[in-house]
C-alpha cells in the first residue's frame, strides 16, 4: 500500500540558509500534518492542512511556513536556519478532518544545520 512520501530524506544546511521539505500524503488523504522531533523527544506538532487550507498551528517558528497544493502535497519552508532547527521532520496524513481517523507518518527528513 502507498505510504506517506517525504523528500529529501537527509539535508545538510548552514546557519541562516533556507530549506524546503516536501510531503506527498497517502492518496485520498485530505489532511496533512508536520511534526518536528528532536533526539529522545516525542513529535512536536508544527502545522496542519485540511483540504488545502491551514487547519491548525502548533509550535511553528515564524521563520517557517508551509502550504498544501492542489494535488494535496505539502511543503515546509524553513528560512534563517538556526542550529536548534536540526531535527527529524515528519509529515503525516489522515483521511477526514484534522484530529480524526488514523494518522500515518512518513519516514521523515533529517535536517542538520551546521
Binding site for other proteins (CB under 8 A): 4, 33, 41-43, 45, 48, 55-56, 58, 88, 90, 97-108, 110
Toward other proteins, which CB reaches closer, 65 or 104? 104
CB closer to other proteins, 17 vs 45: 45
Nearer to other proteins (CB atom), residue 61 or residue 101:
101
Residues counted in the chain: 114
Contact 46, 60 (CB under 8 A): yes
What is the residue whose three cell numbers read 540558509?
Answer: 17
Structure-block grid coordinates of residue 83:
542550529
Comparing CA positions, the residue from 11, 31, 33, 19 lying closest to residue 106 is 33
- Name which of 53 and 70 has its Cβ closer to other proteins: 53
Minimum CB distance to other proteins, residue 114 (Å): 19
Q: How far apart are CA 71 and CA 33, in angstroms?
A: 15
Please report how close the Cβ of residue 77 comes to other proteins at its closest, in angstroms.
Answer: 21
Tell me how far CA of residue 84 lies from CA of 6, 16, 26, in angstroms.
Answer: 21, 12, 30
Cβ 71 to other proteins, closest distance in Å? 22
* Least CB distance to other proteins at residue 16 (A): 26
Amino acid at each position: 500500500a502507498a505510504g506517506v512520501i517525504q523528500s529529501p530524506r537527509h539535508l545538510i544546511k548552514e546557519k541562516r540558509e533556507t530549506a524546503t521539505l516536501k510531503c506527498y500524503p497517502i492518496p485520498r488523504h485530505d489532511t496533512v500534518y508536520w511534526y518536528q522531533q528532536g533526539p529522545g523527544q516525542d513529535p512536536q506538532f508544527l502545522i496542519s492542512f485540511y483540504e488545502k487550507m491551514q487547519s491548525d498551528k502548533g509550535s511553528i517558528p515564524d521563520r517557517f511556513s508551509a502550504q498544501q497544493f492542489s494535488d494535496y502535497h505539502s511543503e515546509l519552508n524553513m528560512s534563517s536556519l538556526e542550529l536548534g532547527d536540526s531535527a527529524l521532520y515528519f509529515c503525516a496524513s489522515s483521511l477526514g478532518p484534522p484530529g480524526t481517523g488514523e494518522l500515518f507518518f512518513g519516514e521523515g527528513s533529517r535536517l542538520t544545520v551546521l
